[in-house]
Structure 1
C-alpha cells in the first residue's frame, strides 16, 4: 500500500486502486503528468482501498472492478457508506456475462466509468490520458454524501420546495442531452412520465461504447414508455423514447425522421447533443423543447440556443442537483436557458407539455 501524503492544498489528491502493479504505475505516471494532480496512495484490492480512503481522505478514488478479496463494487459501497468520496471506475470488465453492469456501478455510488484498455502497452493508453485527467479534475470537485447500499445516491441535498412548471402549448418533441451523472436523472425523469405521454422524447447520453444495452435495459424496467435505440429513417412519434446510438449522431430530418450519422465528433462528442438540438430546432421550431442535464463540458449549449432562437422552450438542470454542472452552466452563460430547474421542476414541466399537447389535440 504505497502512500504519499505530502501534497499542496491546490492539488487534486488521488488514490489509485488496481490489482496490477503495472496498471498502477501507468496510471500514476499519466495522472501526475498534470502538475495539478498528486497520487497520494495506491491499493491492490478493495480492502486496502477502503482502509486507505479512511486514512488518506483523497479527493478522488480510481477504482478497478475485478480484484482478489474484496472487489471494486464492494469497496465502492463501503467507501460511500462510511467515507463518502468521489469514485471513478477504471475497468474493462463491466457488462460481461456474469459480471456487474455499468449501471450497478452508478447505483453503488460511483460517479463515472472509463473503459480500461485490455492490452499493454497499447496506443489507447496514451489516447485516454487527457480524458482521464479531465474527468479526475472535474469529478474530484463533486460533493458526495453517505450512501447506504440499496438506498438512493445523492451528490447534494435536493431542494424540496415546489417548483412551478414551464408551459408551452406548441411542443411536439422534447430532446434531452446528458453526460456525467445523466443516467440517474434520466431514470428519475422518465419513470415519472405517463405511459401515454403525448410528446416524442429523444435522448442523447454521452457514454462509452458498449454502455447502451445496459442503460436501456435498466431504464426499460423503470419507465412506463417504450425505450430503445433510434433506427435510421424511422418516424419520430409520441409515446416513445428514442436514444441516439453510442456510435452516431442523431439528426432530425424534415418530416420528422431520424438520420444516423457516423460523421466526425461535434463539440468533442459522437453522438453530440448539439447536432440533435440544432437539427430539431430547424425542423420543429416553436414545436420543440430542449432540456440539458448534468454533464461535463459544453456540448448542447449551442444547440439549446438554436432551439430558443427558433422559438422553442429551453430548460436546464440546476446546479444543486447536478453531478457536474458543466453543460447546464455553458448553456446559461450562452443565454440559451429560459428555465433553470431541479429534476422535480423538469418533471412537472414535461407533464405540463403533455397536458397542453392533449388540449391542443382535442380543440
Structure 2
C-alpha cells in the first residue's frame, strides 16, 4: 500500500483529488492538508511515501512548499494539475526545478471510461514515483555527483556520421535534465533539436518559457510546416505527436497515443529514423516507462548516435534504462556531459568521416 500526503488548495479540490485517487486500491491518503502552519510536522508523523501538491494553490505556494519539503523532510513530490486550471503553471515549473518529479494531469471526473483510465494512470504514476529515492537538498547533491562524474562515459562506441538533427525524449525528472543539457550547449550549436517531454496538458508553454531563460539557444513550440533551423530547440505541443516528413519539415499529428502518450517519444524517433537515419543523434533522459527505447534501438541499428542518461544522475532511470537493456546506446553519460558530447558530435563533417574511413588525405 502506497501512502499519499495531499496538500490541496481548498476543500473542493481536496475532494476531487480524493475521488481520483480512490480509483486505486493500492493507494491510501494518510492526510489531506490545506497548507496550514505545521503541515510539515503532520507530514513527518504521517510516514507518507509520496507528497501530492495541488497546483491550483497558485502564486509561489507550490514552489515554496516543494522547497520546504525537500529541505526538511525529503520525499518524492508530484504536482497534481486540475484540468483547465493552469494559473499555477509557472510556479509548477519552478517546483520541478526545486525537486518535484513531474506534473500529473487530473481528469475532470471518473465517471466516463476514458476519465477512469486517466485516473488509473495517475494512481499508477504515484505508486511508481513513491519508490524514487530522494535526499535532502537533492538538487545540490545531484550536481555534486555530476561534477565528480566528470566526462566518464560508462559505455562508448564511436560515432562517425555527420549529425544533421538531434532528438531528445524525456519524462518524469526530465525537465531538470533538459535544463542541464541545454545549459551546456553553445549559442552556435549547428543543428536543430526536437524534444518530446511528457508533461501534463497546459504546462508545456510554461516549460518553454522557463527553458528559454536557462540557455543560450532559442526554445519554441514546434509548428507544422516549418523547417527546423540550426541552433533552435523545438518542443512538442500538447496532445500532438512531433514528427518530421520526407521534406524534413516538422509535422504535428493527432494520431492515437503511443505507449500511452501523445506526444510520444516513439513517434519522434521513428520519424527521424525514416528521414535522417544514421545522421541522427538521439538522447533519452530521465523518465518512467519505456517510451522511445525500442525506437532508439532502430536508430542504433541504422548507424545513428544514441545516448542514454546514466542511472546515477537520473531521477528515474526507467526509459534510459530500458534502452540500455536493449543494447541501443553508443554512449551512457552523466547528464551534464550530454550537451558537451552533442556539441562534439555535431561538429563532425563529411570530410572528417571520409578521412576516418580512408586515412589522411594529405599528399594525395
TM-score by length of 2: 0.85
Contact 1:172 1:357 in 2 (8 A): no
Instruction: Structure 1 unaligned segments of length 5 or more: list them.
Output: 1-10
Equivalent-residue separation in structure 2 for 1:19 and 1:197 (angstroms):
43
Determine the structure 1 residue equivalent to 2:308. Answer: 316
Shift of 1:74: 2.7
Instruction: Give the drift of 1:301.
Output: 0.8
CA–CA distance in structure 1, aligned partners of residues 34 and 346 of structure 2: 52
1:112 aligns with 2:91: no
2:153 paired with 1:162:
no
Match of 2:119 among 124, 129, 134: 129
Shift of 1:197: 0.7
For 2:293 and 2:165, the matched residues in 1 are separated by: 18
SS in 2 for 1:143: coil
Contact (CA 8 Å) 2:242, 2:253: kept in 1 or not?
A: yes
Question: Residue 251 of structure 1 is aligned with which of 231, 243, 252?
Answer: 243
For residue 293 of structure 2, what is the aligned residue in structure 1? 301
Q: Does 1:238 align with 2:230?
A: yes
- What is the rounded CA distance, in whole Å, between the counterparts of 1:193 and 1:359 in structure 2? 23
User: Counterparts of 1:94 and 1:156 in 2: how far apart (Å)?
Assistant: 36
Structure 1 match to 2:358 = none
Q: What residue is the counterpart of 2:327 in the other structure?
A: 335
Match of 2:221 in 1: 229
**Could you say which residue in structure 2 is the equivalent of 1:96?**
87
1:54 to 18, 38, 44: 44
> Offset at 1:158?
3.8
Please show how residues 205-224 of structure 1 align to structure 2 within 5 Å. 205-224=197-216
User: Which range moves more in the overlay, 33-42 or 339-348?
Assistant: 33-42
Higher deviation after alignment, 238-247 or 175-184? 238-247
Matched residue pairs, number?
Answer: 348
Residue equivalent to 1:182: 174
Partner of 2:320, secondary structure, is: helix
CA contact (8 A) 1:198 1:357 kept: no
Gap regions ≥5 residues in structure 2: 356-364
The alpha carbon displacement at 1:359 in A equals: 7.0
Q: Does 274-283 or 226-235 show the bigger shift?
A: 226-235
* 1:102-155: CA deviation from partner (whole Å, max 9, x where unpaired): 2122123221222345x668647634321111111111111112239xx75849
Root mean square deviation, CA, Å: 3.0
How far apart, in 2, do the equivalents of 1:323 and 1:269 lie?
A: 20
CA pair 190-41 structure 1, distance change in 2 beyond 3 A: same
| Partner Cα separation in structure 2 for residue 157 and residue 57 of structure 1 | 28
| Kept in 1: contact 2:3–2:48 (CA 8 A) | yes
User: Which of 180, 187, 190 pairs up with 1:195?
Assistant: 187
How far apart are residue 47 of structure 1 and its match?
Answer: 2.9
TM-score (norm 1): 0.85
Tell me the secondary structure at the aligned position of residue 52 of structure 1.
Answer: helix
Query: How many angstroms does 1:294 deviate by?
Result: 0.7
Residue 65 (structure 1) shift: 4.0
Q: CA–CA distance in 2 between the matches of 1:175 and 1:120? A: 35
